[in-house]
A and B are shown apart, each in its own frame.
Chain A
Amino acid sequence: MGHPRTTRRDFLKKTASLSVVPSLAPLLPPLLAPLLVPCRASAAAKAPLRLILLHSPFHFGEAYYHPQISPTDSGPAPAGSNFFLGYANSSLAPLAPFQKDLIIFRGLKYGAASSSHLSGGTAFTGSALETAGGTNPKISGTSIDQYLFNRMAQAGSLSPICAGLFTYLSATHTFDHSIVFNNGAPLAQIDNPMNLYNALFANFRPPTNTPATPASMSQTARRQQALAFAQKYLNGLVGQLPSTSPSASALESHLAAIRGLAGQIAGSSANLAGCSPPSSSAVTNDAGPDAGNYVVSNAPLDVTSFINIITQAFACDITRFASFKMSDYADPSQILLQLMPGLTDFDQTTNWHAMTHTTDGSATNASDIKLAQFKAYFMNQAAALLSALKAVPDPYSTGQTLYDNTVVLIGSEGPVQTSHSDYHGNGDPRSDQPFIIAGGCGGYFKGGQLIFAGGSKSASVPHNALLTNIVNTFETNQQQFNPSYVPKILSQYGDYSFSVSPTSWLT
């Protein structure tokens, strides 16, 4: 708030040494002080362009979340870059191929979350909880994907993708369980891949890949005219309302969305060589509206469809932000069994939620092994997403892929459980949340690290500090974003001063 805007790069030029650390120390929370390290951003570092938020249900067990020291030393790895993920039952083993870019955190805490499952999902993305109700946490603020979109959307960019897997099955589900919010309003997660596909691609024509034809030019003219009509009269309605009116705000959102669609229809100047939307026949369709009517047998393909859609939305430069809530505790858990045919010792009546209540964080507890496999399934999906991003050229960076310039933030509904008394983390509200940064992130972050935020697993550093770092990373891209903007709402993500420092604990 009101901080003079100094880019990380500018600051580096001015300082370029550790000598700045002592002078900054008073600005930093005591628990972060042990993490102060020289900035080690690579010479090629630049601001990432895209962000994906991945949410997985339940908690992690200590024994199968924390990396080993090495393939031959099963001891818990210390902080640093020497750690091993591929051990038996490791929940993070699927991420091993991406280890050089991973940052695995311990010691972060959901600062504003209650102990309820659902508040974990909301806090993960940065929204503040006004009332941490058990089933209906009330939200204020804006989640990090929406915030970045609101600040940085380029012409023609659509709103962030909000995808969800099985998030409307339970009777108690409403959008209050969404993990993304805009000004306190939960946004709809699209659970049917076909609906998301239609929302993104039904009206999309890759402008540089498909030569304009008379038919396509006519379509463009008609659509531009229809959108212009809507814009004119939306503006008229906005003009009749005071700017503080919720209706005016909603209409402004509608207008912004129309401007994005109009820009998309007008075409993009990016190199869209990698833009190749899947055919609709390759996308699963859980017939009916998003609330219910799931085709359970589609489940594995649903995940694949969502991954393909997100990847292609990035490749076609339709949007740059996405969230994917891969279920939560309230879904009929046995359905998820059909996603994981390789699991053993389960039957169709297994209640995952009840099972997690019998974990104790140890390596020998049978429930912990099951939970580790369960979580590994979701990390497998994260790995599939990372692989998909690696396979597609970046529209803005020759020779690079989407992976290179995307931040994938992996979060979890519950924390890392260390003991039975720490009953799936709820007994110690929201400390030691298992955050993982993946993806190339523009080379901005120092990957391949195991970090103990605050110096220990129990340090309880607010995770908002991490979100602040990510936000600030995006906003250092002076070429693309308004450099004079003062990030007034960064307070929602922690203390702004935490992340403007070049000695940030992430780089």
Chain B
Amino acid sequence: MIIGISSFVLFCGVFCDCDRAFDSDSHDFATSSVPPTAQGNDVDSDKPCSNVLPTRKVWPLSRAEYDNTVNAALGNSSNQAQKLFPAEDRANGFTSNAQAEIVESNLVNLLMTAAETIASQSVAGEMNYLATDLQCTLSASPSPTSQDPCAINYIAARGAAFFRRPLTTDEVSDLYQAYLTGFNNPFPNTNATVSGIENVIVTALQSPQFFYRTELGLNSDTSSDPVQLTPYEVASAISYLATGSPPDATLLAAASSGSLNTAQAVTSQYQRLIATPAGKEKVAEFVLEWLGADQVSQLGNANGPLTPALAAAMFTETKDFVQEVVFNGTGTIHELLTANYTFLNADLAAYYGLPASNLGANFSRVSLGSDTDRGGVLSQGAFLVSASNVEAGVPLLHRGRIIRQQLLCEALPSAASLGLPGFTPPPFTNPPAGTTTRQALTKDIVGTCYNCHQFFMPIGFGLENFDPFARYQTTQNGGTVDSSGELIEPASIDEDSGLILSSESFNQASFSGYLALASALAADRRTLSCFNFQVVSYASGRNNVGQDECSVRFASQSSRDGVSTATIQEQFQNYLQSQSFAWRSR
């Protein structure tokens, strides 16, 4: 995947006139009823993008999405999926990216268990819903041939909540059969009508209509190519992206009325939802998963310097910080990387060695003075710890690698591509006292090793003032820390593999210390191009977003217009307005 991203970024940088990739007048095509052209005629470049639309697909709900959907439909917040189901198979770091998800029998069993548990917990409330909202009474002797109107009303109403769209006639009929099956085969200690309702819930929750989001277009349309998503598919796509939850009544009404057919309407709905508490959580989730920083919550160790409480505090710090940047700040990637404030409580401030006198147990926004080298998300504990690979003991290598891969979308060369198949790096041994890790590595990693290390080690040096547990340090192992480094522009690219190969010369920007590194990254167009790819990967649930080339270029427009002014929300909205959001190839 990284190779694909890298290929495009580098390809674009080398061969395309990215500044002219899209005509700004052609932005409003996301949900147009006119199919996009096959060859991306709106692209004005030396090498037009191929305008390959993503193919139709189904997309299983993540555990959080499953639980949120159950909660929205039934008011059941027992979070069965997060209790029972295996963790998602992350793709490109994102839990919502379902490209590689496979439902096998273990999960099918757990889907049954979860459905039966949820139904059992919820059925009493559903009987109240029947009585008070639907104001109907279930027949004591329902007929297979003459459907009980109260049961049908329930199925239609709740079915729409489960399936995020109105049910088909067949679906209503089949769920009515589920009602009858439950009625005639009651759950233990449950009367027949209640059992019927319970079995409708059990059946619906195990159905593919519930478990999968679809991006298929109209079922009745078997020939159009490309295919436009249905309004309800668009509604789900907006809602799960913005909040991780199913469409609310407002969004469903927009889908029903046909008013989701303009890019402006899509954007407007997204903006409405992203401003909700759930929307703010999702924005933070994106940043945390993009940087791998959400992993910090699993890394607290009662026996180590990073306790579970501190790990949780670091997670909260970054979550609150991201939300502040996006919703109260400039919203720019620049601010995300360079802001001179963060969110701390007393314990975390003390751990970082920052003033804690005015802080309590709750988190507050704290300005970072000029005497600290912290600032921006990369200097926060969540990233520093998650990216450290503490066990290996060489955080600067791993941090540099993650910056290279996740912020710059650049692949590292494999040993084989360097002509070293089977090569194994020698083990890192602790340097003698008085020698920092950097000094030891700089001394030891020369020649062949440097062919690869040059691409990430000089970046990682910039974070040397932070130990693997995110504590500030000016000395390490008795030596003086040197946090100067280089941000190397790759000058030799293998077009086939997209890998950066060693070359004879580099354009390289030297920096001195973390803050300078953060500023350099924030001003680097590769960062913004990469960010766009990460947005598309996250929003589209696709690991390989190379096929979204046109969309990504489109989304990159504002970045090219102004590196320092591109906002995070804008990147999402640009994706929502792109062809790849609402159209699929057959």
Contacts and interface: CB of A to CB of B under 8 A. Distances in A.
A132 B424 CA distance: 11
Interface stretch (A69-77, A95-103, A421-429, A478-486): A421-429
B298 to A, nearest CB: 4
A187 B414 CA distance: 25
Contact of A237 (B214, B296, B297): B214
Interface in B164-223: 171, 174-175, 177-178, 181-182, 184-188, 199, 202-203, 206-209, 212, 214, 216, 219
Contacts of A185: 89, 100, 102
B106 A253 contact: no
Interface string A190-217: 1000011011101100000000000101
Contact of B86 (A171, A188, A219, A232): A188
B208 A251 contact: yes
Task: Please report whether the interface of chain A is mostly helix, strand, loop or mixed according to DSSP.
Answer: mixed
Contact of A222 (B181, B292, B385): B181
A254 B208 contact: yes
A427 B87 CA distance: 35
B107 interface: yes
B83 A187 contact: no
B182 A222 contact: yes
Contact of B106 (A200, A289, A351): A200
Contact of B209 (A172, A190, A233): A233
B319 to A, nearest CB: 17
Interface residues of B, number: 74
A240 B112 contact: no
Contacts of B181: 221-222, 225
B103 to A, nearest CB: 4
A462 to B, nearest CB: 15
Interface in B288-308: 292, 295-299, 301, 303
A92 B455 CA distance: 44
Contacts of B423: 115
A168 B295 CA distance: 11
B152 to A, nearest CB: 16
A353 B219 CA distance: 55
Interface string A159-199: 10110000011111011000000100111111000011011
Chain A interface category by residue count: 35 or more
Contacts of B212: 237
B108 A261 contact: yes
B461 to A, nearest CB: 20
Interface string B416-429: 10000011101101
A246 B104 contact: no
B103 A225 contact: no
Interface in B474-525: none
Given A195-B86, A222-B199, A226-B178, A257 B57 contact: no
Given A188-B106, A225-B181, A227-B112, 7 more contacts: A172-B389, A195-B110, A198-B113, A226-B199, A226-B202, A289-B63, A289-B87
Report, nearest first, the 7 A-B pairs whose CB atoms are least far apart.
A218-B185, A158-B105, A115-B424, A292-B298, A171-B295, A291-B87, A188-B86
Interface of B: 55-58, 60, 63, 82-87, 89-90, 99-110, 112-113, 115, 171, 174-175, 177-178, 181-182, 184-188, 199, 202-203, 206-209, 212, 214, 216, 219, 292, 295-299, 301, 303, 385-386, 389, 391, 414-416, 422-424, 426-427, 429, 586
7 contacts: A171-B296, A175-B89, A198-B113, A222-B182, A229-B174, A229-B177, A237-B214
